[in-house]
Structure 1
Amino acid sequence: MAVPKRSTLKLTKRIVERLKVERKDAIFWDRDLAGFGVRVHATGRKLYIVQSRGPAGLKRVTLGRVGTETVDVRRREAAVVIDRIKRGEVPIPPEPEPEPTVADLAERCLEKYVPVRCKPSTAKNYRLAIRHHILPALGEKALKDVGPEDVTALHYELRDRPAAANQATWVLSRMFKLAENWGMVPPGRRPTRHARQYRGTSRERFLTPEEYRHLGATLTRLEAEGSMMPSAVAAIRLLMLTGCRSDEILNLKWDDVDRTARVLRLRDSKTGPRMVPLTGPVLKVLDGIEREDGVSWILRGGKAGTRLACLSWHWRRIKQETGLHDVRVHDLRHSYASRALALGEGLPAIGRLLGHVRVSTTAKYAHLVRDAEKTAAARTGDSIGAQIVPGRAEAA
């Protein structure tokens, strides 16, 4: 067993409560009793431990979770255990396996599930929800003791941040589903089953034809002036022309361009591999990008061999230049869907273009269909009414 690098300090209740680590687990050793310490996990879980060398070599024993006993009690227990180890005796009587806690589940989720099954943006949401909201509220609670009232309390505590509240309860629900799969709780033991979410305050913003023209002219001007990276200009144009997500465009490689089949092959899309039609305007943008020998990325970054990492800074510049201060990069995707609807495309076709797996995801654009239908009905009704309803022609 490798001996960890020692960080010693006087362990007190206040000190132990404040101990935390960012990425890797760490052990903080007591200055007064050699071999007594606290192991702090990145998930926030803390355990009192003992480490000492006896006739059989180095042994490490877990005394229990922080919070179940005082530091002084654990220090006295540690002294007894250290003495037993040095005399070659069994260091501590076997204890019943402790009930798994929310912190235990969070640790396993972050180690075994999130890195393997989640995209980077989703993984970030998991980590934020777990570390900032779930663990502080429920970390030391046994899974079997978490009830609907705890979920409701967590959700209510974040009432001033409804998006964070909904995210936290969604992540907690997923964690308990995994706990069922891993045998940590009995099937059906999910306290989040009937949790209610705060009503969304989704902000819809679609570019008008005039705004499209203004944005296009601004990109052309910045490109001609050389005051914006060519890769950034091309990326924004591709987002406008395809309705793709930012990461899907930024991760494009030249091998993804299939000119024979006239498609872009997105190998690592949020919803899995998919193909995007390669239209004439998209081809024109791609043909205008200068290729660099040995570089597979279509949208190159500022350093040799790298790709364009993000559009945040470039988009802030665009908003300043155009005055479109309330438009986000993702609104280009919404605008693409809106334009497709205006041209008569149905929701199923638009869902396929956007790479939606569930119809419900595309359904948020349904009101645009209804608006278009109302406009069409009004035009049609006015046209017929002018000919058959007395007085309509004069009014028109």
Structure 2
Amino acid sequence: MARPKKSESPDLSQRVNLTVGAIERMTCPEGKQQAFLRDSEVPGLRVRVTAAGAKSFVYEAKLNRQTVRRTLGDVKLWTIEQARAEARRLAVVMDSGQDPREIERQRLAEREAQRAAERAQAEAEKLAEVTVGEVWTVYLEDRRPFWGERHYADHLKMSKAGGEVAKRGVKLGPDGAKPTTVPGPVFELLSLPLRALTPEKVEAWAATQAQTRPTYARLCWRCLKVFLNWCAEHPTYASLLVTANPAKTKRTREVLGKSAAKDDALQREQLPAWFSAVRQIQNPVIAVCLQVSLLTGARPGEVLTLRWEDVNAQWKGLTIRDKVEGERVIPLTPYVAHLLSGLPRRNEWVFPSFRSLSSDPATIKRREAKHARKGQEAPVGDVVQASASGHLADPSAAHRCACAAAGLEGLTLHGLRRSFASLTEWLEIPSGVVAQIQGHKPSATAEKHYKRRPLDLLRVHHERIEAWILEQAGIHFEASTEAARLRAI
């Protein structure tokens, strides 16, 4: 048989001595997806060409009556001698009864396992250095949907770094500058690695905080215990805790001590002095706010965030934003309605926060002219909004001054809520009625599952409570003549 010309494609049916020229001239026959050119020197070595013209070295042999084919590499990257050496190696492997494909899979699996172990080791080392502050941030974001805004703000406050210029209730220092705020109790722990938060660390922290602010430290300690319980249940952080809950130790509890139950409340005979002092407060918004707090028994925050849309003059009800149930509706009693009818409606809040600029007409006129020159709208009247929220933030200072004038030092805003509950004992009001008005969860089975008091039934008792308190305070009020003053607008 005549040898093919060097310009022709090699005969694929014959074994040939692989050369660069033969590989270059090799083409895939018409109508086929791929074809092979066998090497005459190393049995099993082939060059595969596809219909698209791609060429690669291939090793093919029989193992356990099955054809095993391994692609070695592209002809542009592998030399013929490299391909022959690899083919000889694979031939030795298969002669020993081993499948090179399985060997390769095992090698890849071992390599992947090693990489996974290295990644796990790196992640473990990184996790071991995670700080309490980093986990605290994750904790707050995870629990925020289940908390109220106030509870979330409390957690932010107790972990603040401090160092900010104090805004209120402080005296200027010797250099005439305001002092800065102190860090929150939890801030001291945030820089520690979570794995370093041991019971001894928490005990030392508690001992330090108990010296300056024991009450606040007890609150922060309770929040810290809840945080560490969350860590113990978290799949990522549970392994970092040295104990189930490092903050839950007898020593820490003893260092912080127990909080004494507060008993500040108005007695029946103190009502005239308290009402007289509160009604003399120059700011009518604060004066009304304090009286409403006593006559409704609501929490201070619930009263301060009361909106005008929550006041239903038609059906005589007040919608309270309840931290327990979300919201509750209590009666709008006559005297409370009378007090609210005298308040200005400056914004959406029933108790807005505004401060006086000046009561001098000439000053007000100059200010209006100044705003007119700038093309701005002058503040309404002689007041401007004082708080960022728009509502009264904390009337405690005014209340303390009024209580001092009346000789009732020590009475807090929450003491007014306690006073409402205590004073109802004089009238023998059912405890379930008082609890429903104040927003306490029912404690008895009958209260939980059977008794559902409508607003009208609550109004019977609530108006009786209000009338008795006003009577003891010496305040003459005719409900019938004042009923129509507060109306829906």
- Interval of TM-score (by shorter of Structure 1 and Structure 2): 0.5 to 0.7
Cα deviation, residue 307, structure 1: 2.9
Aligned residue among 286, 305, 308 for 1:251: 305
Amino acid at match of 2:137: E
Once the two structures are superposed, the pairs formed by residues 328-343 of structure 1 within 5 Å of their partners are 328-343=412-427
Cα deviation, residue 203, structure 1: 2.8
Once the two structures are superposed, the pairs formed by residues 293-372 of structure 1 within 5 Å of their partners are 295-302=347-354, 303-304=383-384, 306-357=390-441, 359=443
Aligned residue among 241, 265, 270 for 1:206: 265
8 Å contact 1:265–1:276 — kept in the other structure? yes
In 2, distance between residues paired with 1:323 and 1:113?
44
Show CA shifts across 1:343-373 (max 9, x none). Answer: 223544433222124759xxxxxxxxxxxxx
8 Å contact 1:105–1:175 — kept in the other structure? no
The farther-off stretch of 115-124 and 234-243 is 115-124
Amino acid at match of 2:193: K
Higher relative contact order (CA 8 A, sep 6+): 2
**Which consecutive segments of 4 or more residues in structure 1 shift more than 6 A?**
none
Aligned residue among 130, 136, 139 for 1:109: 139
Amino acid at match of 1:155: A
Unmatched tracts of structure 2, length 5 or more: 1-117, 162-183, 355-382, 445-489
Indicate the SS of the match to 1:300.
coil
Show CA shifts across 1:156-213 (max 9, x none). Answer: 3333343233223212112123324543333993333455362112331111222211
CA shift in 2, pair 1:298/1:154, >3 Å: same
Aligned residue among 190, 214, 238 for 1:186: 238
Unmatched tracts of structure 1, length 5 or more: 1-92, 361-396
Tell me whether 1:281 sits opposite 2:335 in the alignment: yes
How much identity, in percent, do the aligned residues show? 22
In 2, distance between residues paired with 1:114 and 1:150?
27
Cα deviation, residue 281, structure 1: 2.1
Tell me whether 1:168 sits opposite 2:220 in the alignment: yes
Amino acid at match of 1:274: R
8 Å contact 1:271–1:356 — kept in the other structure? no
Query: Cα RMSD between the aligned structures?
Result: 3.2
Tell me whether 1:265 sits opposite 2:349 in the alignment: no
Aligned residue among 167, 174, 177 for 2:229: 177
In 2, distance between residues paired with 1:202 and 1:324?
19
Indicate the SS of the match to 1:184.
coil
CA shift in 2, pair 1:297/1:103, >3 Å: closer
In 1, distance between residues paired with 2:139 and 2:411?
35
8 Å contact 1:103–1:139 — kept in the other structure? yes
Amino acid at match of 2:293: L
Match of 1:369 in 2: none
Amino acid at match of 1:353: I
8 Å contact 2:278–2:399 — kept in the other structure? no
8 Å contact 2:322–2:439 — kept in the other structure? no
Tell me whether 1:146 sits opposite 2:191 in the alignment: no
CA shift in 2, pair 1:133/1:358, >3 Å: farther
The farther-off stretch of 326-335 and 282-291 is 282-291
In 2, distance between residues paired with 1:336 and 1:259?
23
Match of 2:360 in 1: none
Match of 1:216 in 2: 275
Amino acid at match of 1:98: L
Amino acid at match of 2:154: K
In 2, distance between residues paired with 1:322 and 1:270?
34
In 1, distance between residues paired with 2:441 and 2:206?
28
8 Å contact 1:114–1:126 — kept in the other structure? no
8 Å contact 1:101–1:142 — kept in the other structure? yes
8 Å contact 1:228–1:314 — kept in the other structure? no
Indicate the SS of the match to 2:238.
coil
Cα deviation, residue 234, structure 1: 0.9
Tell me whether 1:98 sits opposite 2:127 in the alignment: yes
Indicate the SS of the match to 1:133.
coil
Match of 2:457 in 1: none
Cα deviation, residue 242, structure 1: 0.5
Match of 1:234 in 2: 288
Indicate the SS of the match to 2:247.
coil
8 Å contact 1:257–1:265 — kept in the other structure? yes
CA shift in 2, pair 1:343/1:169, >3 Å: same
TM-score with structure 2 length normalisation?
Answer: 0.47
8 Å contact 2:396–2:412 — kept in the other structure? no
In 2, distance between residues paired with 1:356 and 1:180?
32
Match of 2:454 in 1: none
8 Å contact 1:351–1:359 — kept in the other structure? no
TM-score with structure 1 length normalisation?
Answer: 0.56
CA shift in 2, pair 1:156/1:235, >3 Å: same
Match of 1:33 in 2: none
8 Å contact 2:266–2:419 — kept in the other structure? yes
In 1, distance between residues paired with 2:160 and 2:353?
33
In 2, distance between residues paired with 1:198 and 1:252?
36
CA shift in 2, pair 1:257/1:350, >3 Å: same
In 2, distance between residues paired with 1:346 and 1:154?
45
Once the two structures are superposed, the pairs formed by residues 63-74 of structure 1 within 5 Å of their partners are none
Cα deviation, residue 249, structure 1: 1.3
Indicate the SS of the match to 2:351.
coil
In 2, distance between residues paired with 1:290 and 1:138?
46
Show CA shifts across 1:49-91 (max 9, x none). Answer: xxxxxxxxxxxxxxxxxxxxxxxxxxxxxxxxxxxxxxxxxxx
Amino acid at match of 2:350: I
Aligned residue among 209, 220, 227 for 1:158: 209
Cα deviation, residue 254, structure 1: 1.4
* Equivalent residue pairs, number: 260
Indicate the SS of the match to 2:330.
strand
Indicate the SS of the match to 2:429.
coil
